[in-house]
Amino acid sequence: MRERVIRLAFSSDPNLFREFCDTLREQLPANTGAVLRGSAVTGERWDDGAPFDAEGPGTSDLDLTLIGAEAINLYKADGFYIPLIHSKPLSDEAPDIAPDLVPLREKLQRIAKRPVNIQATRDFVRFLRGDLIGQPYLTLIEKAEDS
């Protein structure tokens, strides 16, 4: 899975992937995990099966999910699907829901040379979606404790 992400999302450059992960590690709140979901992980879009970057290089986005209470607290009240449990993605469509994450998002987009959307969720939601329902994800940063 890691190799697929590096090949598809980072032009086969492991140094770009490492820089992306290092930037996350440096800028995320303590005790925050991070996973990558979506077509960068699976190789295809869930809704129509189109391959990653079907419209050309850099056209597919990266779906980053931050895990933990500290990340949840970075979102405004109107930035949630489930209040204080699972956020909407910080994206071009919702650029104001997590103002403190905007500089990080901009750095990550420069590194990846593509859009990066950032959600936040509780660890139990990641467990439900990934381990029970089977939605694939790649762990970029392990979370130290449950929250």
Classify strands 116-121 and 62-67 as parallel, antiparallel or unpaired: parallel
Instruction: Express each pLDDT in 31-72 by its tens digit.
Output: 999 999 999 999 998 889 899 999 999 999 999 999 999 999
Comparing 49 with 146, which gets the higher pLDDT? 49
Query: Helix, strand or coil for residue 18?
Result: helix
* Count of domains observed in the chain: 1
Q: Is residue 79 part of a domain?
A: yes
Residue 28: is it exposed, middle or buried by C-beta count within 10 angstroms (0-12/13-18/19+)? buried
Average pLDDT taken over every residue of the chain? 91
DSSP state of 51: B
Q: Is residue 55 part of a domain?
A: yes
Q: What is the pTM of this model?
A: 0.90
Q: Is residue 73 part of a domain?
A: yes
Which pLDDT score, from 0 to 100, does residue 133 have? Answer: 65
> Alpha carbon of 32 to those of 51, 61, 93: distances in Å?
30, 22, 24
Other CB atoms within 10 Å distance of the CB of residue 133:
8
Q: What span, in angstroms and rounded, lies between the C-alpha atoms of 66 and 64?
A: 7
Domain range for 125: 2-141
Give the distance from CA 140 to its chain's centroid. 9
Query: Helix, strand or coil for residue 112?
Result: helix
User: Is residue 130 over pLDDT 80?
Assistant: no
Cα torsion 114, 7, 45, 135 to 10°: value is -110
Beta bridge partners of 82: 86
Q: Is residue 147 part of a domain?
A: no
> Alpha carbon of 75 to those of 43, 60, 78, 85: distances in Å?
29, 24, 8, 11
Q: Is residue 146 part of a domain?
A: no
